Every structure is written in C-alpha cells, then in structure tokens.
Chain A
Amino acid sequence: MDAAAHDTHDAHDEPHLTPYSVYVGIWLALIALTGVTVLASVVDMKHQAIFVALFVATAKSTLVVLYFMHIAFENRVFWWFLLSAIATFVIFVLLTFADYAYR
C-alpha cells in the first residue's frame, strides 16, 4: 500500500526502541497506583476520595499514553493531535460547569 510505504519513509527515520526495563518499570508503577486505589478505599476520606481517584486515573493514563502508546517518542504532530483532544475535553467540562456552578 501507498500508505505503508509513506509511513516507513518519513515518520520513523530511526525507529525508537524502548528497552524492556522501561516497560517493566511502567508496569510496576501501574500496579503501585492500583495499590493506592485499594488503600484509598480502606481509608475514609469523605470528599477527598474523588481527588485521589482522579489523580490515580490521570497518572495511570499519562504513563500508558506516553510509553505504551509511544507518544513520548513520536513526531510533534501527534502531540498536537493529543493536545487538541485534551483541550476539547477541558472546554467541554468547563462550559458544562457554566451551568452546574450557578444552579
């Protein structure tokens, strides 16, 4: 296919190889974060629990996106794509709170 030919030519001039140790490290970090979730469920934190849950979720997805999905080593254009998705999400939440904050 044209597409495949195109891709191998200019996107990955020198393919980035991630050593296994990094993958294992990320995996351990994810397990540790799951541990935090379990711990948080035991401690009674009232409303703070939501912040812990959101922090853990954000940290986990950042690790997955950066390393498992390779964004950390990709072309700049992929960063723009990712940023536009995040910006969209942030705008959706903020504008929705134009209703909730005042109701």
Chain B
Amino acid sequence: MSSDTAMPDLPETNYINAEKGLKSWLTTIDHKRIALMYLIAIGGFFVVAMGLGFMMRLELLNPGEQFLDGAAYNRVLTLHGVIMIFLFIIPSIPAVFGNFCLPIMLGANDVSFPRLNLASWYFYIAGAIVALFSVAAGGVDTGWTFYVPYSANTDANVMLPMFAAFLLGWSSILTGLNFIVTTHRLRAPGMGWRQMPLFVWGIYATSWIAVLATPVIGITLVLVLIERYMGIGIFNATMGGDPILFQHLFWIYSHPAVYVMVLPAMAVVSEIVPVFSQKRIFGYRFIAMSSIAIAAIGSLVWAHHMFTSGMADEGRIIFSFLTFFVSVPSAVKVFNWLATMYKGSIKVDPPMLFAFAFIFLFSIGGFTGLLQGALSVDIHLHDTAFIVAHFHYTMFGGTGVMFFGAMYYWWPKMFGRMYNRTMAYVGFAMFFVGFNTLYFPLFIAGLKGMPRRYADYLPEYHSYHALSTVGSWIMVTGILILFANLIWAIKRGKRAERNPWGGATLEWAVASPPATHQFDGPPEVGEPYDYKIPHLGDDESAGSGADEGKA
C-alpha cells in the first residue's frame, strides 16, 4: 500500500471513478458498474441469509426449544431458503461475473442491450424489496418451494414472496436474453465459437435454461394466486385440481434452476484450472458441449424430486432413469479438469484452492445425488437431513464456493488491488473445515432418520447436531475472514498488475480496473488457453513451465 500511486500500469480514470455520485451508479448502463451493484446487493443478501442459517444451527445445538419456537423456526427456514435461492445463488455468478467478464472476454465494450441490463438490476431490487416486505408482513412458513395445498390455504401472506420470485424471475430472463444475444452478436472479429473462453460457454448454456425454464415458475406462481384469490380449481383437489401438478410445474423450473446455479460455477472452474496449471485446457470441446448437454438433459429429470408424492410408477421409473444420465456430462467436466492439471505446473494460489474445493465438495454432492436418483433408496432418504446435506454440498459447496473463488480470481481485475494472501489461506482453511464439519454429520443423521425442516429432534441425534452447529461457527468465521480480506483490499490492498495470474483470456489484456470503454478497437483475438502469447505476459513470468497440452 506504499506504492499507491506509483504503478504505471493503472489508468487514472477507470470504470469506478469515471463518474461520481449515487445517481451516476443508479443510472449507469456500464456492464461493469452494473456488475458491482449486483455484487453489493447479492453479497449483502448472502450475509443476511447466512445469519439466518446460523440461527437455525444455534437452535438445533441441543434438543428442545432454545430460542426459536416451531412457528418461528419455519419462518426463519423459509426466509433462509428464499433469500439464498432467489436472491443469492441463482443470480450470483452470472449477474456479477457474467456481467463483468462476458463482454470483455468476447472483446466487446458492453452487452448487446445495456439499458435492459440495468432494467434487470431494477427487477432484482424490486423483487428483493417485495421479499423483505413479506418479512415485515409477518413472514411465510411454506418453505421456499411454496407447495400447495398448504401455500394456497395458509393464513400467512404467500402472495408477497411469490410475487417477489416472479419479479426475480424476470430479472434472470432478461439477463439471460442479454447474454445470449451478446454472445451471438458481439464476439470480436476472429473469435469463432471455438475461440470463446469456457466461462462464456457456461454462461451461454445457463442463459438458455434461464430463458426457457423461468417462465414456467412465473406462470405457476400466478396460477397459485389465481386459485387462492379467485377460487378457480387448478391445484386444489376439492375444486377439481391436482396438487401434484404444482410439484410438476414447480420442479420443471426448479431442477433446471439447479443448473442455472451450478453451470456458471463449473464455468469459473474451467477458467481457473488451466490458468493455475499453466497448461492448455484438456478437451475444450467436451467441456463446452457438456455445458449444453447438462442444460438439455437437466431439463428432463425434474420429477426425481417427487418420487414420494404419489405420481405414477411408470413416470417415476422414467425420471429415475433419466436422472442418471445427467451425471455423465458433469463427470466429463471433472475428468477434463483433472486431465488439464495432470503434468501441469500447478500454482496453489487462493483461486485454485477454491477450484479444488469445488471438485471435492461437488463430487460428494453429486454422488449423494445419484443415491437419491435411485427410486428405492430415495423412498428412505426423502425429506431427511440427508437431502439437506446433499444440496448444501452441491449448491453451497458448488456454486457458493465458486462465487468465492470467482471473487478471489477476478478481484484484482475488478478493483485493481490484491488481497492479503495469508488471510485468504486462513479464511479458506476455516471455511473448508467448517463446511465439512457442518454438513457431513447431516448425511449420517439423515440416513438414521432425522427429518429435515424440524426445529427439534430426539436425543439420539444430539451428537450429530451439536457437531454440525460447531461446524457452523468455524465456517462462518472463515467466510467473514474471506469477505473482510476482500473489502480490506479495495482500499488498502497492494496494486495489482494487469495480469497477476498469467491468464490468456481477454479480460487480462485490459487495464486493472478496466476503463469504461475497455477496448479502443477490436482486440487481437488469440487462443483463450494458450499461455505462451507474449503480449499478454506483462512482466509476469506467465507461461513458465507451461506444458504441451492437447485440447
């Protein structure tokens, strides 16, 4: 922090200080500023929802009631789920890093529809405000899945959180649309589909899911409201409706939404692994196509959430069968990452640690998911703590971890400052140990019959819950250290070079932080994973020890 103004690499005006004042932010159409506004909102909501999760763990420390009664626990649980799913995980990586990096990686100065991009942010904020308003209006205890018939009959005001989800859905549809058009139309001259960075492929596949599947949840939530307030029987059996239809419609969106959450995380891993192995990505085309395959197959498996709902056996067998297929493209990615690392010169910098954590945690999440995909086993596991452990391993161990990883990878680009490495290692270690201490015992408790969504439990589950709660203390401490380190870096961190990691994608060719218009003309497009390009090397020793990889 001594050489604050002395680094030659830094432009005096960049996208952050190009304009001043709150109004300049709220009316900006610069994709990088919009990304920062998302980052602030999404990061804030993550901390709030993490606090709620922390409270639930505290309540579960001992059997019996500590400080939340059953009704309050249900409300906290719903709020934790709604915020984490709709306000954090679904937008997280695409809205922040997709917005920031996708145009730059394509060699464009902005997305195709910059104003629509800002409108998406306002949809997000409007949805967030409505969701918070629902808390003020007494809260909701339906869980984030809003299952009928309960959600159509409860006294709680479910209209508000459903309307919030509806608005947030619009935000993801419009963002997805923007990214699809940008990818098709704004690639720099010379960048064909096979020269696109894999991050762009991942975000592109994600955008298609968002555009095609999100309308289903919007319509479904409107149908619930129509049933509730106009008395038209759609889901209510006493009015001639079918409650299982709600579950179909809900999961038609919400299973693909799982891939809206995790594909961007895989996309970040696909950037980090080759850069920190300094080796060309192995199987570029397989990784790119597996994103598309996940998007397609992932849309055909939704009813695996409904095996105990009373749907037809034939339907259950078909969906169980299809579910196993979706693990194939995910495994393709993991094998390609490992093959990329093989014989690479691996640098274990903080971003790479997060990528390792992703592969480890997501693999546990994925394999336990296959267990639940098996029809017979799922009958036993359904609605137990096993499920809670499973989806936290995939969603948090997957997307959450790579959201942190993406921050630790692109932070020097976004703010032109480097965080403290030691604190990054300390924070990561506490996070990783805490994470496994928190969630792994829930697998065992669940196998032994501990139901999910319960505020209380029998004494025989005490040791698992106590261990899990202790894990939450360690993990939250680690996360706070990780966040504090980044916030500290914005003001106090050492100046970061243009290309601190030796990456070869285009965002490392522009200044840190980039200027509002990052490219003066069409940039020179090279191979995104060739670490021997001299003009990107800076004074860094990028490419040292790079191996002859085959794509």
Hey, which bits of chain A sit against chain B, CB under 8 A?
1-3, 6-7, 77, 84-85, 88, 91-92, 95-96, 98-103
Which residue of chain A lies nearest to B211 when distances are taken between CB atoms in the complex?
A: A85
> Chain A's nearest CB lies how many Å from the CB of B105?
15
> Chain B's nearest CB lies how many Å from the CB of A6?
5
Is B114 close to A, CB under 8 A?
yes
Whether B186 contacts A1 by the Cβ 8 Å rule is no
Stretch of B63-71, B314-322, B525-533 lying at the A interface: B314-322
Instruction: Knowing A2-B110, A7-B185, A92-B252 are in contact, say whether A99-B303 is a contact too (CB < 8 A).
Output: yes
Contact residue among B112, B216, B312, B318 (Cβ-Cβ distance under 8 Å from A3): B112
Residues of chain B within 8 A (CB-CB) of A91 are: 299-300
Is B520 close to A, CB under 8 A?
no
Contact residue among B111, B186, B208, B244 (Cβ-Cβ distance under 8 Å from A99): B244
Is B248 close to A, CB under 8 A?
yes
Whether B212 contacts A84 by the Cβ 8 Å rule is yes
Complex CA distance for A6 and B188, rounded to whole angstroms: 11
Residues of chain A within 8 A (CB-CB) of B248 are: 96, 99
Whether A1 contacts B110 by the Cβ 8 Å rule is yes
Whether B212 contacts A85 by the Cβ 8 Å rule is yes
Is B4 close to A, CB under 8 A?
no
Complex CA distance for A7 and B213, rounded to whole angstroms: 27
Instruction: Knowing A3-B186, A85-B212, A92-B216 are in contact, say whether A103-B110 is a contact too (CB < 8 A).
Output: no
Residues 160-178 of chain B, each 1 if its beta carbon lies under 8 Å from chain A, else 0 = 0000000000000000000
The 4 closest A-B CB pairs, nearest first, are: A99-B315, A102-B312, A102-B314, A98-B315
Residues of chain B within 8 A (CB-CB) of A6 are: 112, 185-186
21 A-B pairs within 8 Å (CB atoms) are namely: A2-B109, A3-B111, A3-B113, A3-B114, A3-B181, A3-B185, A6-B185, A84-B212, A92-B216, A95-B303, A95-B318, A95-B319, A99-B244, A99-B248, A99-B315, A100-B312, A101-B312, A101-B314, A102-B314, A102-B315, A103-B315
Is B338 close to A, CB under 8 A?
no
User: Which range contains the number of B residues in contact with the other chain?
Assistant: 20 to 34
Residues of chain A within 8 A (CB-CB) of B318 are: 95, 98
Residues of chain B within 8 A (CB-CB) of A103 are: 311-312, 315
Whether A98 contacts B312 by the Cβ 8 Å rule is yes
Is B155 close to A, CB under 8 A?
no
Residues of chain B within 8 A (CB-CB) of A102 are: 312-315
Residues of chain A within 8 A (CB-CB) of B216 are: 92
> Chain A's nearest CB lies how many Å from the CB of B307?
11
Complex CA distance for A92 and B252, rounded to whole angstroms: 7
Whether A99 contacts B110 by the Cβ 8 Å rule is no
Residues of chain A within 8 A (CB-CB) of B213 are: 88
Which residue of chain B lies nearest to A7 when distances are taken between CB atoms in the complex?
A: B185
Complex CA distance for A7 and B112, rounded to whole angstroms: 10
Instruction: Knowing A3-B186, A6-B185, A88-B299 are in contact, say whether A99-B312 is a contact too (CB < 8 A).
Output: yes
Contact residue among A2, A96, A101 (Cβ-Cβ distance under 8 Å from B186): A2
Is B200 close to A, CB under 8 A?
no
> Chain B's nearest CB lies how many Å from the CB of A81?
8
Residues of chain B within 8 A (CB-CB) of A84 are: 208, 212
Is B221 close to A, CB under 8 A?
no
Is B108 close to A, CB under 8 A?
yes
Contact residue among B108, B212, B299, B312 (Cβ-Cβ distance under 8 Å from A2): B108
Is B194 close to A, CB under 8 A?
no
Is B421 close to A, CB under 8 A?
no
Which of A77, A85, A100 has the most chain B CB within a 10 Å cutoff? Answer: A100
Residues of chain A within 8 A (CB-CB) of B347 are: none
* 19 further A-B pairs in the complex, CB-CB below 8 A; given A92-B216, A92-B299: A2-B108, A2-B109, A3-B113, A3-B114, A3-B185, A3-B186, A6-B186, A77-B184, A91-B300, A92-B252, A95-B318, A99-B303, A99-B311, A99-B314, A99-B315, A100-B315, A101-B314, A102-B312, A103-B312
Residues of chain B within 8 A (CB-CB) of A77 are: 184
Residues of chain B within 8 A (CB-CB) of A85 are: 212
Residues of chain B within 8 A (CB-CB) of A7 are: 185
> Chain B's nearest CB lies how many Å from the CB of A77?
7
Residues 205-218 of chain B, each 1 if its beta carbon lies under 8 Å from chain A, else 0 = 00010001100100
Contact residue among B181, B186, B208, B319 (Cβ-Cβ distance under 8 Å from A98): B319
Which residue of chain B lies nearest to A10 when distances are taken between CB atoms in the complex?
A: B185
> Chain B's nearest CB lies how many Å from the CB of A84?
7
Which residues in chain B, 81-109, are within 8 Å of chain A measured between CB atoms?
108-109
Complex CA distance for A3 and B116, rounded to whole angstroms: 12
Which residue of chain A lies nearest to B184 when distances are taken between CB atoms in the complex?
A: A77
Residues of chain A within 8 A (CB-CB) of B109 are: 2
Which residues in chain B, 296-328, are within 8 Å of chain A measured between CB atoms?
299-300, 303, 311-315, 318-319
Which residue of chain A lies nearest to B182 when distances are taken between CB atoms in the complex?
A: A3
Complex CA distance for A7 and B208, rounded to whole angstroms: 21
> Chain A's nearest CB lies how many Å from the CB of B357?
34
Complex CA distance for A1 and B208, rounded to whole angstroms: 24
> Chain A's nearest CB lies how many Å from the CB of B534?
28
Residues of chain B within 8 A (CB-CB) of A101 are: 312, 314
